[in-house]
Chain A
Amino acid sequence: MTDPAENQSPPAAKPGLKSDQLSGLVLVVLAIYIGWLNRKFPVGTLADPGPGYVPLLLAIGLGLIGLLVAVMGGRAKPLAAIPWPEATRAFIILAACTVAGLVLEDIGYRLTIFAFLVFFIGAIERRGPLPTVLVSGGFSLASYFVIGDLLHVPLPVGPWGF
């Protein structure tokens, strides 16, 4: 005797990896990597833990939780269902911030931030030259004045003195 509900075919589950399955597996890999890095530090004993003891415990914990997330992730949304419309721009933002960080101490705060804002407002957002220069110049100079001059927070100065 079967339950009538069982006779009805359940909605077909979409094949493919689920978001939680992937993220759980990434956590497991991270845990293994941390455990591998931790081999350099003495773990000690239960009674006398060494510097590697707590990190090892945590790596094991992270691995187990990651495994549980992956195992129980069957009902999570499919990986393909996660939208990435902003991914390209997000990558550009991170790349531009990295470049700004690389040159900040060499060319100084004001010039770095000016170029950074010109890139975003002028090149990425395609705003007119006048508002781009006004906002970029105004922000870099005003923020330097408030943070650097008024609040005395030391900010990098370039070889040209600004």
Chain B
Amino acid sequence: MLETFNDLMLGFSVAFQPEVLMYAFAGCIIGTLVGMMPGLGPLAGISLLLPATFGLNPIIAIVLLAGVYYGAMYGGSTTSILMRIPGEAASVMTCIDGYAMTQNGRAGPALAIAAIGSFFAGTVGVIGLMLLAPTLATFALRFGPPEYTALLLMGLFVLAYMSGGSMLKTLAMAVFGLLLGMIGIDIMSGYTRFSFGIVELGDGVGIVSVAVGLFGISEILLTAGNQDTPQVQKPTLRQLIPSKEEFRLSVGPIMRGSLLGFMIGIIPGSAHIISSFVSYGLERRMSKHPERFGNGAIEGVAGPESANNAAATGAFVPMLALGIPTSPVTAVMIAAIMIHGISPGPMLIQEQPELFWGFVASMYVGNLVLLILNLPMVGLFVNLLRIPYAYMYPCILAFCILGVYSVSNSLIDVWIMLVMGGVGYMLRKFGYDLAPVALGLVLGPMLELSLRQSLALSGGDYAIFIERPIALTMFGLGALLLLLALKPLIFKSKDWRSKVGLEDAVD
């Protein structure tokens, strides 16, 4: 415990450096704005800002990008509450009761509770990250290629089981992503695969161009032509203060949402989206007056907003401790760190303590900055929402081209982005979840390499995967989840998605 405290102090000594503090602040502001803009979710925001971090030191780069990430989680709630437009997917549930509160003249307390819940959940998440990541990293030092193979496969099964939509469609998208990851030079044999003679594809398909295409461009293709300039309420500072009753009703949902969100955040998939749905379902089920939900129940804002922020932090645990992304956002952040020659994984905390602990400390600071900034400045931020979409979406498109081109000064990335934008648009029309594609793209080369390394180690004997207890346990868990996921398909029973109303919402 004392060691953790000392490490955290080291982190604060890094986070309080004026330059780091300034970038954390900038990240939070940019993130808030990005989160508020429909079509620019946290992933597109981080991807577009990535080229700008190339010249920064790795600590500042990750602090800036993390600031954008959790800033966007805050920002998304503002549009949900004031306009019933989720700035990013995790805020969908906040729309229901948040907007109902706005219609009831209680927009201010809804915004305040969302901000307080997000702050509390963010802090719980950072504490969890601080305590769990080093322990997990120490444990992961025992991992060899067979354990990584088992872990990655288990992750894919968890992804399918916990996906927001149809399990089969999620698996299809994960496999499609894994296949995209096969493009490029095979490290073990030197063969260049599926490159169609394009030299630039030898390095594989970049996560940024795929992510911006799938999530940014496809969103614009779906929403273009929307001519409405929405009416926006602008609550004053005084109107932000919740009543005693609203505070009392929010305490439980904030605490439950924080814990639930953090635990779901560690799991692969669209964790921040799922956590908000599960939290909403849980709060409605626990409420003595479930009929209030949908008509402006503050618990329906407090729970989901806390959960999605805690999930955003929880996703950093496997990313930093194992080097494995569990969401598209962490996949892009891993790319950002690797550009600086640093490999996330079990050795990161030992080899780069300033980076890990500086990052943790900056998240404490960032959460506080967001709480202090966002509430008083909410009136200023909502002005952004008054910009007609006719001006906004062409500028977002221009940003997408600019950001993707800048990653490696290559037009190939722009073409990949456009193709993936078209593919993403069609897939969304047909009800497919896109997050598994981005995850599969990053996990594909890892999975293939660890599988072939394991077989090289064992001389081609597949028993290596069952002789090692950690690998066996993970395979067992993966198989169990696969069976659980198949159960509703075989027995036509309802699965957990139907119970929390997630499938309908996703479709």
Question: Interface on A for B, CB 8 Å cutoff?
Answer: 19-20, 22-23, 27, 30, 34, 37-38, 41-42, 45-55, 58-59, 61-62, 65-66, 68-69, 72, 76, 82, 84-86, 89-90, 93-94, 97-98, 100-101, 104-105, 109, 113, 116-117, 120-121, 125, 127, 131, 135, 139-140, 143, 147, 151-156
Per the 8 Å Cβ criterion, residues 414-432 of B in contact with A are 414-415, 418, 421-422, 425, 429-432
Q: Are B451 and A49 in contact (CB under 8 A)?
A: yes
Q: Is the CB of A61 within 8 A of B175?
A: yes
Asked if B182 contacts A54 (CB within 8 A), the reply is yes
Q: In the assembled complex, how far is the CB of residue A57 from the closest CB belonging to chain B, in whole angstroms?
A: 9
Asked if A20 contacts B430 (CB within 8 A), the reply is: yes
Q: Which residues of A contact B394 (CB under 8 A)?
A: 116-117, 120-121, 125
Q: Find residues 309-350 in chain B having any chain A CB closer than 8 Å to their own CB.
A: none
Chain B interface, >50% SS class: helix
Which chain B residue has the least Cβ–Cβ distance from A47? B460
**Given B179, B223, B411, B452, which contacts A55 in the complex, CB threshold below 8 Å?**
B179
Q: Is the pair A152, B411 in contact by a Cβ cutoff of 8 Å?
A: no
B234 CB–A CB distance under 8 Å = no
B221 & A59 in contact (Cβ 8 Å cutoff): no
List the interface of chain B (C-beta within 8 A of A): 51-52, 54-55, 166, 168-169, 171-172, 175-176, 178-179, 182, 186, 188-189, 191, 193-194, 217, 220-225, 390-391, 393-395, 397-399, 401-402, 405-406, 409, 411, 414-415, 418, 421-422, 425, 429-432, 447-448, 451-452, 455, 459-462, 489
Contacts of A86 in B (CB 8 A): 221-225
Residues of A within 8 A of B193 (CB): 38, 41, 51-52, 55
In the complex, which of the residues A20, A34, A125, A127 has the most CB atoms of chain B within 10 Å of its own CB atom? A125
Given A94-B421, A104-B405, residue A59 in contact with residue B179 (CB < 8 A): yes
Query: With a CB–CB cut-off of 8 A, which chain B residues contact A152?
Result: 55
Is B390 a contact of A117 with CB atoms below 8 Å? Answer: no
Please name 18 pairs of A and B residues whose Cβ atoms are closer than 8 Å in the assembled complex, sorted by A. Answer: A19-B431, A41-B193, A47-B461, A51-B188, A53-B452, A58-B182, A62-B172, A62-B179, A65-B171, A65-B175, A69-B168, A69-B169, A86-B224, A90-B222, A93-B220, A101-B418, A120-B393, A154-B409
What are the 5 tightest A-B residue pairs by CB atom distance, in nearest-first order? A47-B460, A120-B394, A125-B390, A90-B221, A51-B186
Q: Are A113 and B402 closer than 8 Å at their CB atoms?
A: yes
Q: Given the interface contacts A101-B418, A117-B394, does A48 sit within 8 Å of B455 by beta carbon?
A: yes
A154 to B55, CA, bound (A): 11
Q: Are B418 and A97 in contact (CB under 8 A)?
A: yes
| Option from A27, A55, A76, A121 in Cβ contact (under 8 Å) with B172 | A27
Residue from the list B179, B402, B460 in contact with A147, Cβ < 8 A? B402
Cα of A151 to Cα of B26 in the assembled complex, Å: 14
Candidates B182, B189, B398; contact of A50 at CB < 8 Å: B189
Q: A93 vs B451: C-alpha distance in the bound complex, in angstroms?
A: 42
Task: Select one of B168, B186, B224, B452 contacting A68, CB under 8 A.
Answer: B168
B45 to nearest A CB, angstroms?
14
Instruction: Assess whether A127 is in contact with B395, with CB atoms less than 8 Å apart.
Output: no
Question: How far is B455's CA from A81's CA once the two chains are assembled, in angstroms?
Answer: 49
Please name all residues of chain A whose beta carbon is closer than 8 Å to the beta carbon of B402 when the two chains form the complex.
Answer: 109, 113, 143, 147, 155
CA distance A104 to B402 in the complex (A): 10
The answer to whether B397 touches A120, judged by C-beta atoms less than 8 angstroms apart, is: yes
- Contact yes or no, B398 A143, CB < 8 A: yes
Q: Are B401 and A101 in contact (CB under 8 A)?
A: yes
Kindly provide the distance from the CB of A74 to the nearest chain B CB, expressed in whole angstroms: 13
Residues of B with C-beta under 8 A to A105: 411
CA distance A97 to B421 in the complex (A): 11
User: Chain B contacts of A153 at CB under 8 A?
Assistant: 51-52, 54-55, 406
Bound complex: CA A117 to CA B391 (Å)? 9
Give Cα A54 to B191, complex, Å.
13
A100 CB contact (under 8 Å) in B171, B399, B401? B401
Per the bound structure, the CA–CA distance linking A30 and B191 in Å amounts to 22
What residues of B have a CB within 8 angstroms of the CB of A50 in the complex? Answer: 189
Contacts of A49 in B (CB 8 A): 451-452, 455
Contact of A101 among B414, B451, B461 (CB under 8 A): B414
Are A58 and B52 closer than 8 Å at their CB atoms?
no
Residues from chain B with a CB closer than 8 A to the CB of A143 are 398-399, 402
Q: Separation in Å of the B5 CB from the closest CB of chain A?
A: 36
B224–A89 CB distance below 8 A: yes
A97 and B397 contact, CB distance less than 8 A: yes
* A58 close to B455 (CB less than 8 A): no
Across the interface, which residues of B come within 8 angstroms of A104, CB to CB? 401, 405, 411, 414
Question: With A and B bound together, what is the CA distance between A72 and B172 in angstroms?
Answer: 14
Interface contacts beyond A37-B194, A54-B182, A147-B406: sample of 14 additional A-B pairs, CB < 8 Å, sorted by A:
A19-B430, A20-B431, A48-B455, A49-B455, A54-B451, A59-B179, A66-B172, A101-B415, A117-B394, A125-B391, A139-B398, A151-B51, A153-B52, A156-B405
Residues of A contacting B222 in the complex (Cβ-Cβ under 8 angstroms)? 86, 90
Chain A residues contacting B182 (CB-CB under 8 Å) are: 54-55, 58
Q: Which A residues are in CB contact (< 8 Å) with B175?
A: 58, 61-62, 65
Contact residues in B for A54 (Cβ distance below 8 Å)? 182, 447-448, 451-452
